[in-house]
Structure formats: structure tokens, C-alpha cells
A and B are shown apart, each in its own frame.
Chain A
Amino acid sequence: MSEKVRAKVKELLESGRIKGFLGLRQADGHLGPHIFTDGRELDALAVGDLKRPGDTRYPLNKQLLTLMRCDPDDSFGVLVRGCDERGLKTLITWNQVDPAKVVAVGIACPPELAAACECLKPYPDEFVDGGKVEGSTFASVATVDALDLHSRLTHWLHEFSKCVKCYGCRDICPMCFCKECSLEQEDLIHTGDLPPENPIFHLTRAVHMAGRCIDCGLCNEACPADIPLRTLYKKVADIIAQEFDYRPGYVEPGEKPPLNILGEAPKA
């Protein structure tokens, strides 16, 4: 899949349109995030499919934010899948990214990755490689929703009880850009205590993901306790979609998330 991406990035770098490209690099037997600034090093460029599709995805948008804050005058390129593009759009909405300074190079995800992610739109609006695969529904959410209220509560309390409070879900999250995090506010969370208060810790984060989570699933992959966070945030996203007809990243940049607007009451 890398050839077409490589050609596109080479063109962007050589034309001077971008100063650097945030992508993935195969080096030292690993595949990890890297900023490419020289067309000659693009042989090592990879898209994140080492052993199976999408097994080495990184929060490139999070690194993009770091770069743009440090160097606001230059433009950068970034590798995006469907989820990353939703992230970019949402970061633009939240005034974290200047759209004029970013060039997204898109790839569409293969069917097995799209299915594993239960992704509604496993491709960006524009992509240079891969084929368009139809989105899937949130089967994991339906499974939990099928439980009665008591079983559902038991299910989530059990999952949250495994938490080791590593904050990895927040630290890997490309949408967590706040300088002050609610999960470090002593008034909301007993910050020094283990285990974290159940379910307050995770529900606090879930509420903050409402209208913001773009369903990339990196939190789920980073969780050392295998808590199905993605399912939780998918459910939160469903509630926002149902109540406010809004899904972050599926609307055009600039359309404010419903929880940031003081306006009319939600539709009945």
C-alpha cells in the first residue's frame, strides 16, 4: 500500500508544500511514528500494517499538534485513515489545527481492519491508496445493550474494576489536547488513590469523550487491562448522535459539538 503514499509525499516535500510529513517508518525491526523531511528517506515509509492491517497505528494527529504549536508558520503533512481524518476535522472545529497548514494524505482501510474496528466510515473523504469498504454497525454496543440494566451495570463495574489507572487511554488519545485534564482534578477524582473510584473515573472520561471521540480505538489498544473502552465511547457517541444528530468528524469542520452550545433544547 505504501507506493502511492510514498509518491504523494515525495511530491509534497519536493514542491515545498509541506515542511515535513508525519507518518510511520520501518526501522530497527520496529514500525513507529516519524517525521519525514527528506524525499530520499521515504523508502522506509510505512502505513501501519506490519503483521496485519492497522496493527501499528499511532496517534499521529497528537504529534501534529505538538509540531504545529512549536512551528505555527510552516505546513505539515500527515498520514490519515478514516478515523484520523475525523480527528483532524474535529481538531479544526476545536481550533487546535489551522486547516491551511495541514495536508492530509489519506489511505482507506482494508475490510478486515474496518470490520475489527466496527468503523462507520473506514476511509477518508479523499485517499491515495486502498479501496472503499462499507462501514459496519457497532455490534459490540448492541451486545452490551442487549443485557438488562442490572447485568449491564455489573458488566461495566467489572470492566472498570480492572483499571490500573495508568492514564494510557487519555495519554494516547489524539483528541485529548486540554492543558488541564479533569482526570487530574482533585475535586472530581481522588488523584492519588488506587484503584480509581468505580465507576466515576471512567464515566468522567466517557462524558468528556461525548462529542469529541472520533472512534479511532487507540485507547482500547493501549489499555493494559483490556477494558473495552472503545465500546463505551461508541455508546456515548451513539447517545450524542441520537439526541443531537451529531457525530464528531462526520460533520464539516466548524460545526460545533452540541455540548459546547448553549441553545435550544434537544429534539424530542
Chain B
Amino acid sequence: MDYRTVLTTCAYCGCGCSLYLEVLDGRVIHTFPCKTGPVNEGKLCVKGWNIHEFIHSPKRLTRPLLRQNGTLVEVSWDEALDFTARRLREIKEAHGSDSLAFLSSAKITNEENYLIQKFARAAVGTNNVDHCARL
């Protein structure tokens, strides 16, 4: 039996609440708020309390999927990225930069969020950038 508590940060929104994940034999089974977390001081919201539930969810997307003839098919990262780049370029050329929008996430890092807005503004040429914590 391998049992441990792992200190980490909640990924649900941008607040950054500290929490301990209870991990039993590699599976995350429970969450406790971190008392010494300066942001949340031992408290969590209902989402934070249940954050262990999505980690092993079978509904979680772990590989790129591409819709082919109406059905989602697992494809390689190269294939998914090539397709996305080509379609983004086609849409931009046909309808202009502001016909595209980029939705970012609280579940990724600050640096990744920076990259996506940079990509939207500098590479695509639009200010249409938003974030899941505002939805």
C-alpha cells in the first residue's frame, strides 16, 4: 500500500487555493483544504472539495480527437495540430482575423495562458481572447 498526501494548487479557477490530495496506490481519492494556504486559509468551494473526481474520470480527454465523417476519431498530435493550423489559416484568409476567437483555461499555467493570448494577438491578429473562469 502506498498512501500519501500531496500538496498542490486547485486547478478550477484562477484563485489558486492550496489543497492536499489524498493518494492511495496512485489513485487520487480525496481532497483536504490546506490550512496554511495564504489564499484559502483552510477553506474550499464545492468544486475544490471535489477536484479529485475529475482526475481519473473516464470522460476526460487524454488524446486528440478529430471529427471525421461525423465521428470523433483518435489521431496523432501531429495530425491534430496540422489540421487545426490549416483550418485556422483558411478561416482567417476567408473571413478575417476577427472571425476567430481563443478560449483559454484556468487549468493551465500562467505561461501557457500568456502564449495563447500572444498567439491570438501576434500570430492571428485578433483580440478575441477569453477565459473559462469568466464563462
Q: List chain A positions with a Cβ less than 8 A from chain B.
A: 20, 27-35, 50, 55-59, 63, 66-67, 70-71, 164-168, 171-172, 221-224
Instruction: Say whether A28 contacts B5, CB under 8 Å.
Output: no
Please indicate the chain B residues that have their CB under 8 angstroms from the CB of A58 in the complex: 32, 35
Least CB distance, B128 to chain A, in whole angstroms: 31
Complex Cα gap A67–B5 (Å):
12
Q: How many residue pairs bridge A and B at CB < 8 Å?
A: 76
Is B4 at the interface (CB under 8 A from chain A)?
yes
Please indicate the chain B residues that have their CB under 8 angstroms from the CB of A27 in the complex: 7
Chain B contact residues: over half helix, strand or loop, or mixed?
strand
Instruction: Say whether B36 contacts A164, CB under 8 Å.
Output: no
Is B77 at the interface (CB under 8 A from chain A)?
no
Stretch at the interface among B41-49, B56-64, B78-86, B107-115: B41-49
Instruction: Say whether A70 contacts B46, CB under 8 Å.
Output: no
Please indicate the chain B residues that have their CB under 8 angstroms from the CB of A63 in the complex: 5, 22
In the complex, besides A30-B37, A66-B22, 14 extra interface pairs with C-beta distance below 8 angstroms are A28-B7, A30-B34, A32-B7, A32-B34, A32-B35, A35-B5, A58-B32, A67-B3, A165-B46, A166-B44, A166-B45, A166-B46, A167-B46, A171-B31
Is B118 at the interface (CB under 8 A from chain A)?
no
Task: Tell which of B34, B42, B49 has the most Cβ of chain A within 10 Å.
Answer: B42
Complex Cα gap A171–B43 (Å):
11
Instruction: Say whether A223 contacts B43, CB under 8 Å.
Output: yes
Contact of B5 among A33, A55, A221, A224 (CB under 8 A): A33
Please indicate the chain A residues that have their CB under 8 angstroms from the CB of B20 in the complex: 32-33
Complex Cα gap A222–B48 (Å):
12
Least CB distance, A113 to chain B, in whole angstroms: 14
Complex Cα gap A35–B22 (Å):
11
Instruction: Say whether A31 contacts B35, CB under 8 Å.
Output: yes
Please indicate the chain B residues that have their CB under 8 angstroms from the CB of A57 in the complex: 35
Please indicate the chain A residues that have their CB under 8 angstroms from the CB of B35 in the complex: 31-32, 55-58, 221
Is B30 at the interface (CB under 8 A from chain A)?
yes
